[in-house]
């Protein structure tokens, strides 16, 4: 009977509708262990079952007060545990209610913010549509203005080409004037050189004349001394003659003395004539010396005047250039300033310019403040958007937590129901055991009851440990879900609304960014249009000024400094000078013939001196023009050769330098030491063109001897050698790097 009851109780426990299995697969093993532990003290047919209790008959006195107290204690402990679970359940419910209230408040706030953002987005969309229409209108206007500007630019380009052609004609005329000026200057310098050479010749001739005058003056002094000596001898001879006349015997001696005296007198007369002629020549030399000194003084004064004239010419040229520059600047200012702008002096213009600059600075400050405010608003809008996103994330997290808490509450309620059912079941089992023990036990009721109670306590402790393990496992899994950020199972409509809001916000951001870019482009295009309008107005003013200047311009029939007329004038002046020189020479020849002078070659006529000066100036001018031409050609050829060298260096990779004796030095751009690693090519002196016959020994030829022998010595091909050398140097440099 007892075995049947135990089996029935076991069947009741297995088929109890209050014991529910969990839905998750990971809790099946624990549930199986739990059901096995619940069934072990009841099933008796298996190997693991507890030994069946031997119920013996006992007297009714076994139902003592001690067993009742123990049963009451067990019931009280179970009641306490039940109360504790109820308290925990109530606390969980309260916490769940608080979380629900907070979540509802948060959701309400988020809904309000979402409504505000939707209103703001509607306003932004309307503003965007308005700005888009305005932008389309401005683009259409801009295209029209661009077309008109393109047409005006074509017309202005045509006018500029015409003006450039006229400017080229004017520049050609200016070049002709400059060439005529250079030729005149060369003539002046040539005349200067001729005058200097003639003055040097005159100085030399005057020095020779002074030397001759000094020699002749010395001769005259000697002759005077001789004359005085001869006069003394004549006086002595006269005394002797007077003495001899008293002597009749010495007549022959007196005749001889008379002859000698007459010879001496004739010789003295001839000496006097020579002295007279020399004194005349000396006076002439002195006159020429004085004239030479006067000519030198005049030369010095003329040189000073010429230097002053040159300085004045330079100053005049500088002043003329300054005047031209000032006139050009004035015309530019007039072209830029309209006729309505009335400026009496530059001070008014400067004041207006400073005022405009101040206004520009103020406007720039305002624009900076506006841009700063707009950027701050944009930043605030971005912060609000991020805040909305964070709030949405927090709402989703709170919803996840709420779902987890609701699951936990449901699970705790089920566990409470199971615990109450198990407590009732245990009470029924204890009552049945008491009845059975009272009926069937044979004095061992206390031991069997205590054993059963200990077994039940073990079951309760095992059950509690399993409940704690399950709760900890659920808690860990819920925390893992929160950490991994798994999506919450919310309704599809809510997700659809969030996606729509997010897409709407992205669209607003894109449109606002595009609006800003279009506004910036619009401002830039407006500035360009205003600038082009000003340029067009300036070009129109310049064109009108050029038309006015062309209307008043006269046709040039002949230049004042015409080279042909200038050459004719020079020829005429030279012919006149030669005629005057010829007349002066004829007059001088007649005078020399009349005066029987022999030193006519020592005198130079003034007309000859003038002709020589003119020739000297002409030669100086020609020499200066040739020197200037040579300098210009040297500069041009130097610039062209430099461009040619740079082109060779950029295309072929070699720096080419021309050395004396028809040698050429080539330096690679890939060589480390440019001076020591240079190649010097030797040219063939017999050939007319540039033909190289070899290369001087250097470090490169020694290092790359194979290339040198293969290309230069065997093939006689220097370009291929240079190309191969460049490749080798480049590989070496790249390997080094």
Q: Of 489, 269, 492, give the one whose Cα is nearest residue 400.
A: 489
**Distance between CA 239 and CA 221 in Å, rounded?**
27
Give the model's pLDDT for residue 497: 47
Q: Is residue 721 part of a domain?
A: yes
What 3-state class would DSSP assign to 569?
A: helix
In degrees and rounded to multiples of 5, residue 304 shows phi and psi of: -60, -45
Q: Is residue 609 part of a domain?
A: no
**Distance between CA 433 and CA 77 in Å, rounded?**
19
In degrees and rounded to multiples of 5, residue 678 shows phi and psi of: -110, 150
Give the model's pLDDT for residue 390: 84
Q: Is residue 687 part of a domain?
A: yes
Non-local (6+) Cβ contacts of 555 within 8 A are none
Q: Is residue 589 part of a domain?
A: no
Non-local (6+) Cβ contacts of 197 within 8 A are 612, 616
Residue 441 token pair: 């036990």
Task: Say which DSSP state 224 is in.
Answer: H
Q: Is residue 689 part of a domain?
A: yes
Is 682 within 8 Å of 692 (Cβ atoms)?
A: yes
**Distance between CA 454 and CA 461 in Å, rounded?**
10
- Radius of gyration of the chain measured on its C-alpha atoms: 68
Is 421 within 8 Å of 18 (Cβ atoms)?
A: yes
**Distance between CA 693 and CA 706 in Å, rounded?**
18
Q: Is residue 684 part of a domain?
A: yes
**Distance between CA 443 and CA 447 in Å, rounded?**
9
**Which range marks the domain in which residue 673 is found?**
652-736
Give the model's pLDDT for residue 50: 36
Give the model's pLDDT for residue 21: 38
What CATH number is attached to the domain comprising 682? 3.30.457.60
**Distance between CA 14 and CA 542 in Å, rounded?**
113
pTM: 0.24
**Distance between CA 519 and CA 134 in Å, rounded?**
10
- The residue with tokens 């209790």 is 53
What 3-state class would DSSP assign to 225?
A: helix
**Distance between CA 615 and CA 203 in Å, rounded?**
19
Mean pLDDT of successive 10-residue segments in the chain (737 residues)? Answer: 42 40 40 42 36 38 59 79 81 81 81 79 74 73 74 74 71 68 70 71 70 72 74 73 60 70 78 79 76 77 78 81 81 67 66 76 78 78 82 84 80 79 77 71 59 72 74 66 46 44 64 71 73 74 67 53 73 80 74 56 60 81 87 87 88 85 84 72 67 75 85 86 88 80
Q: Of 265, 262, 261, 244, give the one whose Cα is nearest residue 253.
A: 244
Task: Say which DSSP state 711 is in.
Answer: I
**Distance between CA 498 and CA 506 in Å, rounded?**
12
Report the first-to-last Cα separation within the chain, whole angstroms: 104
In DSSP notation, 617-679 reads HHHHHHHHHHHHHHHHHHHHHHHHHHHHHHHHHHHTSEEEEEETTTEEEEEETT-SSTTTTEE
Is 624 within 8 Å of 186 (Cβ atoms)?
A: yes
C-beta atoms surrounding 46 within 10 Å: 9
C-beta atoms surrounding 193 within 10 Å: 21
Q: Is residue 701 part of a domain?
A: yes
User: Number of folded domains in the chain?
Assistant: 1
Name residue 667's beta-bridge partners. 655, 678
Give the model's pLDDT for residue 46: 36
In degrees and rounded to multiples of 5, residue 681 shows phi and psi of: -95, 135
In DSSP notation, 607-619 reads HHHHHHHHHHHHH
Segment (H or E) for 383:
helix 346-440
Q: Is residue 720 part of a domain?
A: yes
């Amino acid at each position: 009977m007892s075995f049947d009851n135990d089996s029935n109780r076991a069947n009741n426990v297995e088929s109890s509708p209050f014991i529910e299995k969990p839905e998750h697969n990971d809790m099946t093993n624990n549930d199986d262990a739990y059901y096995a532990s619940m069934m072990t003290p009841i099933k008796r047919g298996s190997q693991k079952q507890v030994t069946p209790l031997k119920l013996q008959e006992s007297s009714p006195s076994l139902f003592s007060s001690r067993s009742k107290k123990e049963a009451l204690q067990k019931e009280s402990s179970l009641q306490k545990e039940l109360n504790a679970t109820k308290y925990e359940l109530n606390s969980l419910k309260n916490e769940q209610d608080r979380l629900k209230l907070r979540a509802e408040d948060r959701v309400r706030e988020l809904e309000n913010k979402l409504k505000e953002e939707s209103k703001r987005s509607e306003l932004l969309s309307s503003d965007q549509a308005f700005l888009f229409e305005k932008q389309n209108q401005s683009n259409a206007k801009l295209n029209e203005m661009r077309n008109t500007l393109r047409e005006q630019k074509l017309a202005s380009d045509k006018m500029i080409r015409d003006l450039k052609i006229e400017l080229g004609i004017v520049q050609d005329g200016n070049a002709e004037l400059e060439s005529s000026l250079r030729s005149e200057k060369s003539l002046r310098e040539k005349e200067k050189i001729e005058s200097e050479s003639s003055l040097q010749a005159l100085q030399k001739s005057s020095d020779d004349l002074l030397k001759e005058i000094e020699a002749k003056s010395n001769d005259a002094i000697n002759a005077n001394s001789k004359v005085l000596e001869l006069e003394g001898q004549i006086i002595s001879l006269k005394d002797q003659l007077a003495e001899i006349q008293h002597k009749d015997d010495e007549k022959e001696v007196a005749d001889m003395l008379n002859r000698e005296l007459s010879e001496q007198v004739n010789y003295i007369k001839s000496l006097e004539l020579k002295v007279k002629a020399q004194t005349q020549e000396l006076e002439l030399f002195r006159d020429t010396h004085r004239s030479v000194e006067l000519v030198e003084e005049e030369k010095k004064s003329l040189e000073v005047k010429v230097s002053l004239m040159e300085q004045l010419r330079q100053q005049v040229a500088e002043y003329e250039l300054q005047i031209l520059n000032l006139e050009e600047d004035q015309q530019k200012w007039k072209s830029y300033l309209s006729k309505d702008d009335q400026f009496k002096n530059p001070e008014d213009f400067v004041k207006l310019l400073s005022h405009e600059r101040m206004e520009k600075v103020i406007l720039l400050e305002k624009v900076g403040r506006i841009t700063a405010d707009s950027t701050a608003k944009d930043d605030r809008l971005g912060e609000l958007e991020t805040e909305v996103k964070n709030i949405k994330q927090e709402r989703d997290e709170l919803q996840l937590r709420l779902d987890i808490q609701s699951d936990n509450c449901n699970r705790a309620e089920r566990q409470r129901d199971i615990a109450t059912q198990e407590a009732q079941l245990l009470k029924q089992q204890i009552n049945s055991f008491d009845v059975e023990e009272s009926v069937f036990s044979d004095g061992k009721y206390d031991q069997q009851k205590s054993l059963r109670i200990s077994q039940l306590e073990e079951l309760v402790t095992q059950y509690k440990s399993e409940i704690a393990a399950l709760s900890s496992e659920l808690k860990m899994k819920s925390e893992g879900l929160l950490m991994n950020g798994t999506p919450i199972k919310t309704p599809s409509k809510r997700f659809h609304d969030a996606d729509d809001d997010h897409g709407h916000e992205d669209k607003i951001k894109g449109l606002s960014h595009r609006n800003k870019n279009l506004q910036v482009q619009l401002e830039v295009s407006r500035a360009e249009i205003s600038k082009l309008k000003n340029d067009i107005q300036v070009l129109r003013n310049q064109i009108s000024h050029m038309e006015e200047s062309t209307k008043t311009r006269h046709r040039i029939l002949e230049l004042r400094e015409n080279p042909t007329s200038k050459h004719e004038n020079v020829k005429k002046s030279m012919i006149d000078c030669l005629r005057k020189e010829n007349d002066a020479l004829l007059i001088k020849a007649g005078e020399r013939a009349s005066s029987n002078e022999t030193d006519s070659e020592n005198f130079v006529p003034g007309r000859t001196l003038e002709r020589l000066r003119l020739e000297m100036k002409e030669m100086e001018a020609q020499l200066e023009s040739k020197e200037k031409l040579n300098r210009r050609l040297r500069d041009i050829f130097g610039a062209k050769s430099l461009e040619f060298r740079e082109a060779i260096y950029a295309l072929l990779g070699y720096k080419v330098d021309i050395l004396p004796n028809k040698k050429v030095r080539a330096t690679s751009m890939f060589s480390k030491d440019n001076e020591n690693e240079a190649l010097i090519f030797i040219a063939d002196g017999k050939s007319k063109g540039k033909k190289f016959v070899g290369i001087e020994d250097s470090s490169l030829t020694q290092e790359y001897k194979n290339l040198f022998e293969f290309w230069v010595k065997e093939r006689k091909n220097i370009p291929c050698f240079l190309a191969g050398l460049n490749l080798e140097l480049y590989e070496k440099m790249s390997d080094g790097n």
